[in-house]
Structure 1
């Protein structure tokens, strides 16, 4: 197995508190609103929605019936440092991309009143590394941040 990581960062035009609330505090309700064709709903199946909680993602119709669920665990949730991470336990994010492990982390940093720097990192494990595997692993995080920014701006 090959364990790798890929990093990226984006600056978004919303305040850190509003982005943090949408990302880490209201994730169960926000994700289905911002990506309804990808995620229909999220249920907390273990825990209270905080650190260590396990989330069941009910995925959109573009997935075949057997691939319509994904479980993820909140493995980092630090309000004071604005750090949030989810680890995929099972589901299409692993099977469709041949990952045996995938954890996505976000670190938010305040730049200004209405500007936040988002550092993203994916740590993934795969049988064999291909030229664009890191980019494939990171793309959902980049899209998620873009959707979140739009949601916060419109809220």
Structure 2
């Protein structure tokens, strides 16, 4: 069984600024600092932010789904502003998923605006098909909204 969830949010920031946040480790650092209700911790366990980097995500108690997992950066396309991660240990893999991928795309809309498109793709074996109900885009929506707020607050002065 294959599934996909998507969300788009317009940002009032140039795509280059949004990519500086999403295309690096900065988004994980921001999430760890600003979303304790969602993430107990976001730890860098391997790498420097490039392809092959591994993060250990531990969700706050009470957040639905798995308690945590390790994800690996599998694609960072600076030209097209696409970053993909896949769960490589724990979490959804322990619930019968053979693939759990998160993709962030920063799409240029205009000189001072962009869209962050968040996608979850997953594959689940048929024996565990009922676990598809555990997949939610809500944490990515929250991260996109946090990024929007952060980018709006930290706009360079145009004076």
| 1:72 aligned partner | 71
**TM-score relative to the length of structure 1:** 0.77
Distance 2:44 2:122 in 1: 24
| 1:62 aligned partner | 62
| 1:138 aligned partner | 137
CA positional deviation for 1:140: 2.4
Aligned 8 A contact 2:104 2:118 in 1: yes
| 1:45 aligned partner | 45
C-alpha distance 114-5 of structure 1, shift in aligned 2 (>3 A) = same
CA RMSD of aligned residues (A): 2.9
| 2:157 aligned partner | none
User: What does 1:1-155 align with in structure 2 at a 5 Å threshold?
Assistant: 2-25=1-24, 26-62=26-62, 68-92=67-91, 99-128=97-126, 133=132, 136-155=135-154
Aligned 8 A contact 1:124 1:137 in 2: no
Distance 1:140 1:94 in 2: 18
Q: Which runs of 5+ in 1 are unaligned?
A: none
CA positional deviation for 1:24: 2.2
Q: Which runs of 5+ in 2 are unaligned?
A: 155-159
Distance 2:6 2:35 in 1: 23
Aligned length: 150
The Cα offsets for residues 97-147 of structure 1, whole Å up to 9 and x where unpaired, read as x6442101121111123311223322101245979x489443322222112
Aligned 8 A contact 2:38 2:139 in 1: no
The Cα offsets for residues 49-71 of structure 1, whole Å up to 9 and x where unpaired, read as 211111112332436xxx65421
